[in-house]
């Protein structure tokens, strides 16, 4: 065991893509955690498949390294606002934070969010101005911008007197002064030792440990991860588990793990200040306290912000149900969602009036889209509805309230007009505008409803050159109706395979979503209509064969490539009367009511 005064527990927080995970890679190399000839993949902490594909951190992870006789327990946190629940709870495990800021961009919306959480817990930040080797970098301006941000967030005098390190995680060097020569990350390690306090805790007191993260292993079952606040814990020891409702259970610790680089090591004993993982408690949950049986005392848990977006998860009742996925029953979907709640504390799952559908609420579209993508990769097959914001009512006035978001947009100057026009129609209010070295930075407050479906439209309007970041701001007055999708959809009239001749004939009607040979069914959305109304089409129409010659009989079938949708794009595209059918290999869009006659009857009933 490491003496408590030689331990430093620190979390790395930043806006998305400012270099947190790359900095951890550089720290591994700087602390010589690997052999010189050992191959280590980039962004080693992003072990999840979706993290590597999307290039973002989704789950908070713990690691540890040794430098100069000290042990650094490091927590790598997500940078995206939708995964803020991961950040909020892990900050209770650490004694300081490395606040990483891009030397060119400066503090961004998520920087503000995570910094506010850290300051509220009394943590003193160590600021790392990263990417100082980036063309156009302005590290001193970024340092001043961080200082202004801390003042805005109400930081104490001690927190304002922060240590600032200039670094390039990619090149593997850090320096205390921008003009100093730099060779390695030793200045950063030295700053952590000096400015991150040692853990407070008494190894001789009664055991107290707060479960902050969860993992699962097929051999040992549920694994709880957290920091020992007081006391010691040993393998084989009997401990008390204090549940969130105050009830107490007794369990035996079967395994203890410590962290070392990218691996876990078996421990026989651990004491106050250490971040460890333990097994042997089958129904352990995030936010519960592990304590000694002699004197069980619960620890306070950090409250997590409430979800702002919800959608319905529905059992797939389409004609192709069960053809692609292994898990299709409502029972299996319920079990999977219940399992997700064990570690995804920002998620909420509620039963609906129907036994085949569940209301799932989260922090944002990406938060829920990652869950859906994970489930489809596990063999689940289900339908999901369009995301909807969660409305509140002001208890004092009875006024309807809806969530608002702060959005920051960076665009070339020529696209500023179209962006402002589109956001104005979505009830956005401009807060600020600045010219940042040839690009315009716009700051808006917008109802969360106004952002649903806008991101893909934004990328089209700015020809892929725009950058949009959003962050939940507050609940404000309900803004009324917002613009809906302008175009209707093309709907298949029958269960058939798409035919090239039919697709070519329908190109004048709109944009197609399917290729020739794609299996379609009645009620499935196969394209976007050029007009506002929906149109039922025959996607399987074939060319008539006869012995009569006609002009154009020998023309080749030429088809424009279809517009394909990712899962997130499909969720943004659909309307209230539509669903996204998600299976391990397909993402299809469909009408809730598949039969054309039934849809007409439902419309007549709603109009009456």
Annotated binding site for GTP: 17-22, 130-133
DSSP string, 527-576: EEESSSS-EEE-TT--PPP-SS--TTTT-----PPP----HHHHHHH--T
Kindly list the distances between the CA atom of residue 505 and the CA atoms of 118, 517, 548, 551, in Å, as whole numbers in the listed order: 59, 16, 21, 16
Q: Using CB atoms within 10 A of its CB, is residue 386 exposed (0-12), middle (13-18) or buried (19+)?
A: buried
CA 504 from centre of chain:
39
List, in order, residues 6 or more apart from 183 with CB less than 8 Å away. 173
SS (H, E, C) 413-444: HHHHHHHHHHHHHCCCEEEEEEEECCEEEEEE
Residues at the binding site are: 17-22, 130-133
SS3 percent helix, strand, coil of the chain, rounded to 5, is 25, 35, 40
Query: Phi and psi (nearest 5°) for 438?
Result: 90, -15
Produce one character per residue of 34-71: b if its CB has 16 or more CB atoms within 10 Å, e if not: eeeeeeeeebbbbeeeebeeeebbbbbbbbbbebeebb
List, in order, residues 6 or more apart from 389 with CB less than 8 Å away. 308, 309, 310, 402, 403, 447, 448, 449, 452
The residues that bridge with 442 in the sheet, in sequence order, are 409, 433
Query: Phi and psi (nearest 5°) for 160?
Result: -70, -25
Please say whether the dihedral angle defined by the alpha carbons of residues 45, 47, 51 and 55, taken in this order, is positive or negative.
Answer: positive
CA distance 426 to 450: 5
CA distance 59 to 286: 14
Helix orientation angle between 109-120 and 139-152, rounded to the nearest 10 degrees: 50
Say whether 410 sits in a helix, a strand or coil.
Answer: strand
- Closest Cα partner for 568 from 436, 452, 401? 452
Q: How many CA atoms lie within 13 A of 38 on its CB side?
A: 11
Q: Is residue 68 within 8 Å of residue 32, measured between CB atoms?
A: no
CA distance 573 to 565: 9
């Amino acid at each position: 065991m490491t003496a408590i005064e030689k331990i430093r527990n620190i979390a790395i927080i930043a806006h998305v893509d400012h270099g947190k995970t790359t900095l951890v890679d550089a720290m591994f190399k700087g602390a010589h955690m690997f052999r010189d000839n050992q191959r280590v993949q980039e962004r080693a902490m992003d072990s999840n498949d979706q993290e590597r594909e999307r290039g973002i951190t989704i789950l908070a992870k713990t690691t540890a390294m040794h430098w100069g006789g000290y042990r650094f327990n490091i927590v790598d946190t997500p940078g995206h606002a939708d995964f803020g629940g991961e950040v909020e709870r892990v900050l209770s495990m650490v004694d300081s934070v490395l606040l990483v800021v891009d030397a060119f961009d400066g503090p961004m919306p998520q920087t503000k969010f995570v910094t506010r959480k850290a300051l509220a817990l009394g943590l003193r930040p160590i600021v790392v101005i990263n990417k100082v080797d980036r063309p156009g970098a302005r590290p001193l301006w970024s340092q001043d911008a961080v200082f202004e941000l801390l003042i805005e967030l109400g930081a104490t005098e001690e927190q304002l007197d922060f240590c600032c390190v200039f670094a390039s995680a990619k090149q593997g060097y850090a320096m205390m002064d921008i003009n100093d020569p730099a060779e390695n990350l030793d200045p950063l390690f030295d700053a952590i030792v000096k400015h991150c306090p040692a853990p407070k805790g008494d190894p001789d007191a009664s055991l107290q440990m707060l479960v902050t993260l969860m993992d699962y292993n097929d051999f040992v079952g549920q694994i709880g991860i957290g920091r020992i606040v007081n006391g010691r814990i040993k393998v084989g020891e009997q401990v008390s588990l204090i549940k969130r409702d105050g009830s107490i259970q007794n369990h035996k610790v079967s395994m203890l793990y410590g962290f070392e680089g990218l691996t876990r090591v078996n421990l026989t004993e651990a004491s106050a200040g250490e971040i460890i993982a333990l097994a042997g408690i089958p129904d352990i949950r995030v936010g519960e306290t592990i304590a000694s049986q002699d004197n069980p005392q619960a620890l306070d848990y950090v409250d997590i912000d409430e979800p702002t977006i919800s959608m319905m998860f529905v059992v797939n009742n389409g004609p192709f149900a069960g053809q692609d996925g292994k898990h299709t029953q409502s029972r299996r979907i319920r079990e999977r969602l219940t399992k997700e709640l064990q570690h995804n504390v920002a998620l909420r799952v509620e039963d609906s009036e129907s036994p085949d559908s569940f209301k799932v609420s989260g922090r944002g579209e990406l938060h829920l889209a990652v869950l859906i993508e994970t489930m489809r990769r596990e063999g689940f097959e289900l339908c999901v509805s369009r995301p909807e914001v969660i409305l509140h009512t002001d208890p004092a006035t009875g006024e309807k309230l809806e969530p608002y978001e702060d959005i920051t947009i960076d665009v070339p100057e020529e696209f500023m007009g179209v962006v402002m026009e589109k956001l104005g129609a979505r009830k956005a209010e401009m807060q600020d505008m600045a010219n940042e070295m040839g690009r315009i930075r716009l700051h808006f407050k917008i109802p969360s409803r106004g952002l649903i479906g806008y991101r893909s439209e934004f990328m089209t309007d700015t020809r892929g050159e725009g950058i949009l970041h959003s962050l939940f701001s507050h609940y404000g007055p309900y803004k009324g109706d917002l613009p809906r999708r302008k175009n209707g959809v093309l709907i298949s009239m029958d269960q058939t395979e798409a035919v090239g001749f039919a697709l070519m004939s329908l190109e004048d009607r709109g944009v197609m979503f399917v290729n020739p040979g794609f299996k379609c069914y009645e009620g499935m959305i196969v394209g976007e209509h050029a007009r506002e109304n929906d149109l039922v089409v025959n996607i399987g129409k074939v060319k008539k064969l006869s012995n009569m010659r006609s002009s154009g009989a020998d023309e080749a079938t030429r088809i424009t490539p279809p517009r394909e949708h990712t899962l997130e794009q499909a969720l943004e595209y659909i309307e209230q009367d539509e669903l996204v059918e998600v299976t391990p290999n397909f993402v299809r869009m469909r009408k809730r009511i598949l039969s054309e006659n039934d849809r007409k009857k439902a419309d007549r009933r709603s109009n009456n």
